[in-house]
Amino acid sequence: MKTIDFTKLARPNIRSLKPYEAREIPCKVKLDANESPYSLPADKIFQAKNIINRLNRYPDPEAKKLKKTISKNLKVNTDSILLGNGSDELIYYLITAFGGPVLYPVPTFSMYGIISQACGEKGIEIPLDKGFDLDTDKMLAAVRKYNPKLIFLSSPNNPTGNCFSADRMLKIIEASKGIVVVDEAYQPFSSEKGFLPLLNDYKNLAILRTLSKIGFAALRVGFLIGDPGLIKEVNKVRLPFNLNALSQNIALEAFRRKKLMDSQIKNITSERERLFEELDKITGTSPYPSEANFILFKAKNANAVYQRLIKEGVLIRNLGSAIKDALRVTIGTPEENNFFIKALRKSAGGKK
């Protein structure tokens, strides 16, 4: 029998690509993945008749009903919307359709870099400034030098939690001949209004949104909003049945419960302020201000604190080498946050 070195057979850009690692760490309180701690009443949703019929039929390839609902909700035309199996898939499609170079500041959402490499496109990483805002000079220099086809700006940014300055973002959008994708996964938790109102002013601006952070990570529903000409090109590389029928239908039910979702978001942002104060007290260092559903904070011996929290039953995110001594905690329910605060006091010690 032939032996094959599959790594050698793979495209050169794939050889060194590390798959996303999903270690499963048992915990009582899960605050590591920026999920919402709230789920909508699933039993009621599943009683809705349109969800349980016709498992044998392909989903609507155009997801017309869901697009119409999003269209009304965000006040954009349906031909400005493309739906993805999570935002991840839309990032894949954007890079497949337009290619690279792909520019993004770091630290940021890791998938911009991973997907660029998977697609064999050059990723250009420009460090954020000391306040975690965009380094305009360096970003603009990179725009001039590389003429990137795509620029990804996550605002509010993951894992830093802040929104980038709107004027800095606009400078980059104006300077770029390529497409600037503002990833607003965390926008619902922000006090700023986001870039949707600017879509009509900048043809090369596109926006990513998702249901994953506001209660529906299980579904994998992301949406890209942009110029119909842009949407048309990205749609060419979309798999026809990329959004399964159940996710389409449950997402519809989610939008019907918008008021409940909004009140859950309000709970989360109010808990964020409380947690911010507590973190300040416990660590003795002010955490980073957050416009998202998580807080980035520094702790002495962050790695040891992270490990001790796991022993206490709390899982948060250890940023490791990306930002020294920094940990990221997702905002949970008040009870989960109390559990975390208590465990952190035990684990981090310091001032009370």
Angle at alpha carbon of residue 337, lines to 335 and 338, rounded to 5°: 65
Does 19 bind a copy of itself (CB under 8 A)? Our answer is: yes
CA–CA gap between residue 97 and residue 197 (Å, rounded): 25
Nearer to a copy of itself, 114 or 322 (CB): 114
Nearer to a copy of itself, 43 or 167 (CB): 43
Does 30 bind a copy of itself (CB under 8 A)? Our answer is: yes
Using the 8-state DSSP alphabet, how is residue 330 labeled?
E
- Looking at 36, 155, 190, 337, which residue binds a copy of itself (CB under 8 A)? 36
Min. distance of Cβ 347 from a copy of itself in angstroms? 24
**Region 152-211 residues binding a copy of itself, contact defined as CB under 8 A:** 178-179, 201-204
Q: Contact region for a copy of itself (CB under 8 A) — 73-81, 233-241, 279-287, 319-327?
A: 233-241
Residue window 243-282: x/- pattern of binding to a copy of itself, with contact defined by CB under 8 A: -xxxx--x--------------------------------
- Looking at 27, 38, 78, 125, which residue binds a copy of itself (CB under 8 A)? 38
**Region 135-154 residues binding a copy of itself, contact defined as CB under 8 A:** 149
- Looking at 74, 217, 260, 322, which residue binds a copy of itself (CB under 8 A)? 217
Residue window 88-127: x/- pattern of binding to a copy of itself, with contact defined by CB under 8 A: xx--x---xxxx-----------x---x--xx--------
Residue labelled with tokens 């940021």? 108
CA–CA gap between residue 19 and residue 5 (Å, rounded): 18
Size of site (CB under 8 A) for a copy of itself: 84
Using the 8-state DSSP alphabet, how is residue 186 labeled?
T
Q: Are strands 150-154 and 179-183 parallel, antiparallel or unpaired?
A: parallel
The Cα-based distances of 251 to 92, 170, 218, 225, 286 in angstroms read 22, 32, 11, 17, 37
Nearer to a copy of itself, 145 or 232 (CB): 232
What is the crossing angle of helices 87-98 and 111-118, to 10°?
40
Nearer to a copy of itself, 29 or 305 (CB): 29
99: its two tokens: 């290619």
Min. distance of Cβ 300 from a copy of itself in angstroms? 30
Min. distance of Cβ 129 from a copy of itself in angstroms? 27
Contact between 289 and 299 under an 8 Å Cβ cutoff? The reply is no
Does 37 bind a copy of itself (CB under 8 A)? Our answer is: yes
Min. distance of Cβ 146 from a copy of itself in angstroms? 15
Q: Contact region for a copy of itself (CB under 8 A) — 129-137, 154-162, 239-247, 322-330?
A: 239-247
Alpha helices (H) along the chain: 6-9, 12-15, 42-47, 49-52, 64-74, 87-98, 111-118, 136-146, 166-175, 228-236, 245-256, 258-283, 302-311, 334-348
Number of H helices, E strands in the chain: 14, 12
Sequence-separated (6 or more) residues with CB below 8 Å from residue 318: 302, 303, 306, 327
**Region 305-324 residues binding a copy of itself, contact defined as CB under 8 A:** none
Three-state SS at 63: coil
